[in-house]
Structure 1
Amino acid sequence: MALSSDRMFLELHGNQWRVVVNVPKKLHTKLGTKLKKPLGTDSLKEANRLKWDVIAELKATIARAENPSLSLEAARSMSREQAMQQAIRFAEQRKGAFDPVRRDEIDEEIDWKTESLAGRPTATDEEGNEVFDPDRLRLATDFSQLARGDKTPIDLHHKKFLAMSHVKARTLADDRRAIKLLKDWCNKVGVPPYLQAITKKEAVRFCDELPNFTANLTPVTLNKYVSRLSVYWTWLENRHEVESNIWQGRRLREPQQTTDQKERPFTDDEVKVLLNGPAEPEMDDLMRIAALSGARLDAIVCLKVKDCRNDGVFVFKPQKKEPGPRLCPIHPDLIEIIERRKKGKAPDDDIFPEWPGVKKSDSLRERSFKTSNEFTAYRRSVGVEDRREGKRRGLVNFHSFRRWFITKAEQAGQPESTIAVVVGHKRQGMTFGVYSGGPLLEQARECVQSVKLPTLRDGAAVYGKSD
């Protein structure tokens, strides 16, 4: 059916058309089942041109009935949002209309809606030109440009982009923050928040002004947001929504760190202090697994019984950009810990039930969030700390166990490529697959076993605390 003969929201009353809008069931007692208003014309074409203003008015009435405290201005604002959503639908229809006749029909409907939003002239100027209400004229102009594809809101396709992204919830949150940051900046500096207005020049300006616009965020964090904008623009470019990725290569300059300012591995003495201190049993087990596997905190905390295989292999869940689960041989000094924690449990039970993770289903925090806080408190309580002036984070943290493991494996003469396999770093060449045997697994096992914990106290065994 052609758009010009569309009867949506219209019905004949006698020989003239009127607008009919359904009322939500919960408001029937207050407004009845339908709101109706005559248009005073018997022409369907003219009724389609006139109906949009009336529809907005009736929907504003419904909105105010649903929320009596809602001001008329707020109700009209909701109508504006509805108009913009309709413009988006027109833009999608127009983009998919390859038949010139169909395209003309859509354009005619857009013109009718635009005229309706602009309303009737409020006056004439000295030269006899019609003058329109400025707010309504602005709405009509925005509607027309959006419906015809001349302006595309920055975030129009962002929801679809997020739905198609295979990233962690925290990264999705970064995507949303990045878009909000860009929109807020546009509003502050007067750049129209449309894809067409964000040129390479504006992207450079955005990056230049970002530190002053967000004084509480570090260059590292801001570069993360710029990077997420770049990923979104690449996605848009692949769908021909933009001509190019104007964020490619854009980065804020990060302060250069000297060697003594970079986060570092624990020293052997610090490892001794940590493993010889008054840690709770679960914390002691956790630290030993970290030191003798090089695994990240969240991967360890999320281990299940079935992930600690009987053939002496950990199956760590994917971390960072790892494409899938990663195998890591279990160090001989960890076997007692693993067997003790597996005893009497089902395959899907947790190895570390002491840290069940956050309870809120919509939380962006990793399961290990509380574990990390507890470790930090313990580490500081035994005096393992390295703070530098001007740095928000200390130079040692739980990840320092991972750095310590890598350092010890290197010092034991293990090949860099094998260490990369064990800890899950990006590696060129052969891939350590999901096999339970073979030379790669044996090389990885040799690498893991080359790392030894420092003697803890008075000649005590490498594993276990002295009484």
Structure 2
Amino acid sequence: MPKGSRNDTRWLESHHGSWRVTIAVPRELQKTLGTRLKKPLNTDSLSLANRLKFKAVAELKERIELAREAALGNPRGIMREAAGIAELSRRVTCDEERDELQAAIRERAAEIVGPDAREIVDPRTGEAFPLPDPRRATLAADFVAVANGRATPLAMHHAEFLAEAGNKERTRADDVRAIQYLTEWCRRERLPATLEAVTPAVALRFKRALGELAGGIEPATQKKYLGRLSVYWAYMAENEYVGANVWAGLKIKRKKVDPREEERAFTDDEVRRLMEGPAPAKLRDVMAIGALTGARLDAIVDLKVKDCIDGAFTFKPQKKEPCERDVPIHPALADLVATRSAGRAPDDDLFPEWPKPRKAGSLRERSFKTSNAFTAYRRLVGVDQVLPGKRRSLVNFHSFRRWFITKAEQADVAEPLIAAIVGHKRTGITLGRYSQGPAMKQARRAVAKVKLPPLNGEPVPEVRGLRPPPR
């Protein structure tokens, strides 16, 4: 059953009329954790439980992994120790030092194996033989291989790669998560989590299994993680840490989407409902800029006063945009910008009502709360379209961007100019920062052609039972 289905009961069980997540504990950890881990979701709605369960599943699986690592004695730390010994062994210059190092490796491997787990008895002779814990024996073998330079941990060069790549925090988090998924999968498949073990055949197996990890990963997200692994391997191949990029050429098949199920632009009537409804000013202004520039939500709420001078917005780069992007301020937005800029310094936020996340190290975009507030408001005024069995609505804040592009096309604005305004990949047109530039003059005329639908002033009825967005 597809992810997000309202009837999906994977990892779920009903307990006293309320849903909870339940996961089986591996046999070797049942003495510590019991046979199953459970976490209540505090809801009797199966639809809501399906939206909440994935975070709970991830938390319970992390608890299982922590218990497994505790039982093994911190395998990640042991692998880092082995990598350090391998680096030391490369500096050994004489046989005596080499022999001493080998003795130390054998002694440490014996410590990792630890006391014998049980004994087996030869049925013919009655003689007892010690049988070590197979997981510890495997870990000890991996330690010896890494320490002797025959194997390299997957993340051996990852910190170095991240430092040189200089990516944004969200991309860095994707890089780390991709390595974690690969490491966890290798452990599950009882494969060494080493660079040498990841052959083209193993990479293909991982690609096929990736969708099952973390409760089900959508194709677009699978593609992202495979892409990050490919970039890491390409870096290592360039530096001769590996022979070749085993991820090159691996592709994730995109789901065929019925055109009727694709996310869409708002209709004029939906834009009217959104602009005439009871939105707080901090949300109404964000919507107005989105509708009359086609800008993405995070770029809007991150604007500063200095980004709104000389009759143009300067939006920060988003997605694959290489640099900042200038967009003319629509005549209908001039008063809004003037009011919000009045009395504020150039470096002040244009939307202080939508501050950045306060938690240090948070990967959430500044627009996270704005997006949640807009979703609540959109539903409140009846602008929604959710298909049966789907979780995500076909309309969202990005629908303003689609609406702007549609209206510009209908006004006979040339496609390259539209692409330059909204930041799509393009050739041939780059808008200048100042109004004197011919391209910027063209863009001003183009932006002014997009008009909000007539607002008749009639109150928009709220959908009963829904909460209004925060004021």
Question: Please, what TM-score do these two structures have when normalized by structure 2?
Answer: 0.73
Matches within 5 A, 1:230-379: 230-309=230-309, 311-379=310-378
- Match in the other structure for 1:53: none
Match of 2:105 among 114, 133, 136: 114
Q: Which residue of 1 aligns with 2:404?
A: 405
Taking a change above 3 Å as real, the CA distance of residues 115 and 206 of structure 1, as seen in their structure-2 partners, is closer
Structure 1 residue 341: Cα displacement:
0.5
Cα distance in 2 for residues equivalent to 1:431 and 1:357: 30
Structure 1 residue 262: Cα displacement: 0.8
Map of 2:73 onto structure 1: 77
AA paired with 2:389? G
Is residue 92 from structure 1 mapped to residue 92 from structure 2 by the alignment? no
Which deviations, in whole Å up to 9, do the C-alpha atoms of 1:167-219 show, x marking residues without a partner?
A: 33222222222211111111111121111111111111112223344443322
Identity among equivalent positions (%) equals 51
Deviation at 1:133, TM superposition (A): 8.6
1:429 paired to 2:456: no
Change (3 A) 1:337 1:150: same
Gaps of 5+ in 1: 1-72, 460-467
Q: Is the 8 A contact 1:154 1:193 kept in 2?
A: yes
The residue type equivalent to 1:186 in the other structure is C
Partners of 1:379 and 1:420 in 2: how far apart?
27
Question: What is the rounded CA distance, in whole Å, between the counterparts of 1:276 and 1:445 in structure 2?
Answer: 26
SS at structure 1 position matched to 2:313: strand
In structure 2, the partner of 1:438 is 437
* 8 Å Cα contact 1:114-1:140 kept in structure 2: no
Contact 2:142 2:192 in 1 (8 A): no
CA contact (8 A) 1:119 1:132 kept: no
1:383 offset after TM fit, Å? 0.5
3-state secondary structure, aligned to 1:102? coil
1:327 and 1:405, CA in 2 relative to 1: closer, same or farther beyond 3 A? same
Separation (CA, whole Å) in 1 of partners of 2:110 and 2:396: 64
- Partners of 2:137 and 2:451 lie apart in 1 by 75
2:429, 2:439 within 8 Å by CA — same for their partners in 1? no
Question: Does 160-169 or 257-266 show the bigger shift?
Answer: 160-169
Provide Cα deviations, 1:3-40, integer angstroms capped at 9, x if missing partner.
Answer: xxxxxxxxxxxxxxxxxxxxxxxxxxxxxxxxxxxxxx
Per the alignment, residue 38 of structure 1 pairs with: none
Worse-superposed segment, 288-297 or 166-175: 166-175
- In 1, Cα distance between the equivalents of 2:245 and 2:221? 20
Equivalence for 1:43:
none
Q: Which residue of 1 aligns with 2:126?
A: none
CA contact (8 A) 1:263 1:395 kept: yes
Q: What amino acid sits opposite 2:183 in the alignment? A: K
1:429 positional shift: 3.4
Note if 1:453 corresponds to 2:449.
no
Q: Secondary structure of 2:93's partner?
A: helix
Alpha-carbon spacing, 1:193–1:139, altered in 2? closer, same or farther (3 Å)? closer
Q: CA deviation at 1:138?
A: 5.7
More relative contact order, 1 or 2 (CA 8 Å, 6+ apart): 2
CA contact (8 A) 1:115 1:140 kept: no
Mapped to 2, the partners of 1:103 and 1:87 lie a distance apart of: 20
Q: Is the 8 A contact 1:294 1:402 kept in 2?
A: yes
User: Do the aligned partners of 1:195 and 1:242 also contact (CA within 8 Å) in 2?
Assistant: yes
Corresponding position of 2:33: none
User: Counterparts of 1:378 and 1:339 in 2: how far apart (Å)?
Assistant: 26
Partner AA of 2:83 in structure 1: I
Taking structure 1 as reference, are residues 109 and 241 closer, same or farther at Cα in structure 2, changes over 3 Å only?
A: farther
Pairs within 5 Å for 1:37-52: none
The DSSP-based 3-state class of the residue aligned with 1:196 is coil
Query: Contact 2:106 / 2:144 at 8 angstroms: preserved in 1?
Result: no
Q: What is the CA-CA distance between 1:290 and the residue it aligns to?
A: 0.7
Q: Is the 8 A contact 1:90 1:106 kept in 2?
A: no
Secondary structure class of the residue paired with 1:378:
helix
Following superposition, the deviation at residue 373 of structure 1 comes to: 0.5
- Superposition deviation, residue 94 in structure 1: 5.2
Q: Is structure 2 residue 227 aligned with structure 1 residue 227?
A: yes
Whether the aligned pair in 1 keeps the contact of 2:385 and 2:394 (CA below 8 Å) is yes
Aligned counterparts of 2:185 and 2:346: Cα–Cα separation in 1: 51
Instruction: Determine if contact 2:200/2:246 at 8 Å carries over to the other structure.
Output: yes
Deviation at 1:115, TM superposition (A): 3.4
The answer to whether the Cα contact below 8 Å between 1:294 and 1:401 also exists between their aligned partners in 2 is yes
CA distance in 2, matches of 1:395, 1:440: 34
The superposition leaves residues 277-335 of structure 1 with CA deviations (integer Å, 9 ceiling, x where unpaired) of 111112111111111111110111011111111x2011111111222221111111100
Is the contact between residue 313 and residue 327 of structure 1 (CA under 8 Å) also seen in structure 2? yes
The answer to whether the 8 Å contact 2:416/2:429 transfers is no
Alignment match, 2:386: 387
Q: How far is 1:107 from its partner?
A: 4.1
Q: Structure 1 pair 83/452, CA: closer, same or farther in 2 (3 Å)?
A: closer
In the superposition, relative to structure 1, how do residues 409 and 104 fare at CA in structure 2: closer, same or farther (>3 Å)? farther
Conservation of the 8 A alpha-carbon contact between 1:110 and 1:144 = no
3-state SS of 1:227 partner:
helix
Give the whole-Å Cα distance in 2 for the aligned partners of 1:273 and 1:82. 57
Query: Which stretch of structure 1 is more off in the superposition, 398-407 or 102-111?
Result: 102-111
- Give, in whole Å, the separation in 1 of the partners of 2:144 and 2:184: 24
Which residue is 1:40 aligned to?
A: none
Deviations 1:359-386 (A, max 9, x none): 1121111111000011111111110011
Find the aligned partners of 2:223 and 2:79 in 1 and give their Cα distance.
Answer: 32
Aligned-partner Cα distance in 1 for 2:95–2:277: 78
Find the aligned partners of 1:314 and 1:118 in 2 and give their Cα distance. Answer: 62
Q: Return the index of the structure with the highest Cα Rg.
A: 1
1:102 corresponds in structure 2 to 93
* Equivalent runs, 1:147-226 vs 2, <5 Å: 147-226=147-226
Q: Secondary structure at the match of 1:197?
A: coil
Task: Name the SS of the counterpart of 1:359 in structure 2.
Answer: coil
